[in-house]
Amino acid sequence: MPTAPAVPPFLRLDHGGTCLVLDLRRGGARLVHLGAPLPEHEDLAALAAASSRWRHESQPDHPPLPSLLPQAGQGGMATAAVRCLRLGQECETSFNLLAATQQGSGLQLQFADAFAGIQVELRWQLHDTGMVSSHCRLTNTGTTPLTVVRLASLALPLPGQFTQVVRFPGRWAAEMREERVPLARGMLAAVSHGGRPGFSGAQWVRLEGEDATETRGAVLGAHLAWSGDHELVIERDADNESRLLMATRLDIGEVILAPNAVHAAPEALFHCGEQGRYGLRNAFHRHALEQVLPRSATSTPRKVHLNTWEALYFNQSLADLCSLADTAAALGVERFVLDDGWFHGRRDDTTSLGDWTPDATVFPEGLSPLIAHVQALGMDFGLWVEPEMVSPDSNLYRQHPDWCLALPGQPRPTQRHQLVLDLSKAEVTDHVFSQLDALLKPGNIAYLKWDHNRELFPLAVRGQAQALAHYALLDRLRAAHPAVEIETCASGGGRVDLGVLQRCSRFWASDNNDPIERLAINLGWFQFLPPRVAGNHVGPSPNPITGRQSSMHFRARVALFGHMGVEADPRRMPAPDFAMLQQHIAFYREWRDVLHEGAWSIPECAEPGVYGWLAMREGRGLALAAQTRLAGTYDVPALRFTTLNPNARYRVKLPEPWPEKAQRYLATPEQWRDGLVLSGAALASTGLALPLTQPETAWLVTLEQLP
């Protein structure tokens, strides 16, 4: 009986609203279609012919086709997906497609270069959420060691309708700032070098067509789910062919494969659709909630936090902390988090990292009395740690100076007066685990804020090993203490990705709690990550980073839209501010099911200084409209809600208290209190003419769909 060919001429996948068609007839894998579903009877050969071009004068006689595995050799002018060295020499590869199989909504492609002794397996999976995941594995089939310099997790030929690239670079206290550039000829690249994703935005990207809006047009988003260094390349050649490549950044010598050994690249994820940024956002959110985040992040209400850092800094005492906890409970806080300064000898940021035992001068009986006090008030207790780091002035470093990342005979430069523990050493991770395990064993700590305040230098050819060891340590700790929630923090948003969020129930979006800055920061994060796991706190005024003074009304309303918390000392708040914050915390607790389980969209407003969100769940909606500057005109354009059911009717209200200055310009206030009934079509076209002229004005809008 004849066997089926190893490589079919075409391969088609349809799942989750995405259709993928590959042409496999020339020994490679050419992407013919990616996006909206095609009719079942579509002629794939005709489709491939319709999208094919003949050779022009400035190409090889047999030009390589755009492939899911671009190569530098054989006339290919793209950045290669695979780059290796053997015996110190560059391997110029010529991969052929050996096998292609389809199983359900997944595909597997096997490429090989027998002469170079390299085999590559590429697996794509279409998910119910509309996301596509990509995995790549490389096997050394040669007889000598092979050094891997690059193995791309994703090498994606880009459909021609994409003309704009939106990147998300930033810095400390100003993360994930949208930066839009044309997709022009040449190369656009981003890379991180500090052993963690950092603030370069190299692992997040969005591409758009010319006419893309919140609800319409071609949009593609991609992410590399990896907590180490990243490499992003977007290039367009003279033939107008565009490609996106995402990979880990490896130092030479970091990955050396013995014969028959395998190296697996981390997962990359992307979504391509025609429903604008709203469709992309909710595909990423749904995927994170359904297939990535721990169950504790998705199945339990997100408790209001109070973090002690900007309330007390290092000035801790048991009496002061108990007093702060009393006031926090009266405010409506549900989790009290003790930040930096609680452990042995830690009176400032120059010492003691690595000595994770309570400081006897502050806690002579350990943390138990404070924890008992907090729990008696009806709150959970959480604790800040930075377990991957060590201070040169610490007992741990004095006992084990060889446990940190360092180069033999070279200086050991510090950052924030600290060094990095080499987690690739089993004795180091065993020690760190034993310290954290001892803290958690009594069972009275519900939450760890896991910080990482230093770039990894020197990497000492340990970047990948460090990231994998970090994952293993988190996995080990979660297995031993499954009820404990962990937050990922790295100088704020320096290590936030879907790799670490498989293991963490929350991320700290930024150390900057200035509400105007947070609106811009969250705009980037919320494009990809669900707000229910984004720490979003009310800070003090003036803000300790920006120096800006903001009303409690504005700070509290911005903090509602995320995982709400407080990063200030409520004991020092004027009584009106305390009452205002207390009211907004109660409002958050009333509406968090909508905020954290609803679909998020951005209301449209032509005024550049206005930021807004709308969360809708089962016919109930809560929206924010926040003005960050003085408007150029007295009458700011209306706020339009374009994602509602146009045929449905909604009762629209403006919850009080209203912005003090802006409310005087509100027409017919009594009608807003009772509620206006408007169709979804009217809310999308006419919208709401809210007073948004003054800076730091924030309106809340509630919507209730009527029968």
The set of residues, in sequence order, having a beta carbon less than 8 Å from that of 1 and lying 6+ positions away, is none
How many separate helices (H) and strands (E) can be counted in the chain?
14, 36
Tokens (6 digits) for 344: 């042995």
Domain with CATH 3.20.20.70 in the chain: 295-402+427-454+469-590
The half-sphere exposure of 269 on its side-chain side, counting CA atoms within 13 A, is 22
Given the DSSP bridges, would you call strands 146-158 and 162-167 parallel, antiparallel or unpaired? unpaired
Look at residue 465 in the predicted model and tell me its pLDDT.
Answer: 97
Measured CA to CA, the distance from residue 347 to residue 355 in angstroms comes to: 13
| Both structure tokens of 142 | 């040669």
Q: How far is CA 662 from CA 609, 639, 665, 669, in A?
A: 16, 15, 6, 12
Residue 122 CB partners (closer than 8 Å, separation 6+): 29, 68, 69, 108, 109, 110, 111, 134, 135, 136
| DSSP β-bridge partners for residue 49 | none
Answer yes or no: are the C-beta atoms of 536 and 508 closer than 8 Å.
no
Which residues in the chain are classed under CATH 2.70.98.60? 10-289
The 3 state secondary structure assigned to 543-556 is CCCCCCCCCHHHHH
Q: Are 195 and 455 in contact (CB under 8 A)?
A: yes
User: Which residues are within 8 A (CB) of 79 and not within 5 positions of it... i.e. 6 or more apart?
Assistant: 70, 72, 187, 233, 235, 243, 245
Give the pLDDT confidence score for residue 4 in this predicted structure.
52
**If you classify domain 10-289 with CATH, what class do you get?**
mainly beta
Mean pLDDT per 10-residue run, the chain (707 residues)?
71 95 92 94 96 79 81 78 96 93 96 96 97 98 98 95 96 97 95 94 95 96 98 92 96 97 98 96 98 94 98 97 98 98 97 98 97 98 98 98 96 96 98 98 98 94 97 98 98 98 98 98 98 98 98 98 98 98 98 98 96 98 98 95 98 97 94 96 98 97 98
Of 392, 448, 383, the residue nearest 415 (C-alpha): 392
For residue 85, the one-letter residue type is L
Spot the catalytic one: 359, 380, 451, 569: 451
Nearest to 167 by CA among 191, 201, 199, 198: 201
Which whole-number Å values give the CA distances from 327 to 106, 320, 570, in the listed order? Answer: 54, 11, 7
Query: Which amino acid is located at 554 in the chain?
Result: F
Separation of alpha carbons 680 and 525, rounded Å: 27
Neighbours of 572 (CB within 10 A): 11
Residues 6+ apart with CB under 8 A from 362: 316, 317, 318, 342
Q: What is the pLDDT of residue 66?
A: 77
User: What is the C-alpha separation between 436 and 423, in angstroms, rounded?
Assistant: 14
d(C-alpha 624, C-alpha 519), whole Å: 11
Q: pTM higher than 0.95, yes or no?
A: yes
Q: What is the largest CA-CA distance in the chain?
A: 86
Hey, is 529 helix, strand or coil?
coil
Q: Give phi and psi for 546, each to the nearest 5.
A: -95, -20
390: nearest Cα among 337, 350, 425, 357: 350
Which residues, at least 6 apart from 52, have a Cβ–Cβ distance to it below 8 Å? none
Number of Cβ within 10 Å of residue 56's Cβ equals 9
Of 355, 497, 511, 577, which is the active-site residue? 511
Distance CA 619, CA 639 (A): 19
Contact 19, 130 (CB under 8 A): no
Secondary structure element (H or E) that encloses residue 98, with its range: strand 96-103
Q: What is the chain's Cα-based Rg?
A: 27
Q: Into which CATH architecture does domain 610-705 fall?
A: Sandwich (2.60)
Pairing of strands 389-390, 305-307: unpaired
Is residue 90 classed as helix, strand or coil in its secondary structure?
strand
Domain(s) of CATH 2.60.40.1180: residues in the chain = 610-705
Is 376 exposed, middle or buried, given 0-12, 13-18 or 19+ CB atoms closer than 10 A?
Answer: exposed
- Give the whole-angstrom CA distance, residue 569 versus residue 690: 33
Q: Where are the alpha helices (DSSP H) in 497-625?
A: 515-528, 552-560, 575-597
Phi and psi at 30, nearest 5°, equal -95, 130
Residue 423's identity, in one-letter code, is L
**Which of 247, 225, 227, 330 is closest to 79 using CA atoms?**
247
- The answer for residues whose C-beta is within 8 angstroms of residue 531's C-beta and 6 or more apart is 522, 561, 562, 563, 595, 596, 600, 615
- Determine whether 251 is an active site residue: no
- Among 3.40.50.460, 3.20.20.70, 3.40.50.11540, 3.60.60.10, name the CATH number for the domain at 295-402+427-454+469-590: 3.20.20.70
What is the rounded CA–CA span in Å between residue 130 and residue 600?
16
Of 633, 634, 668, nearest in space to 654 by CA: 668
320 is a catalytic site residue: no
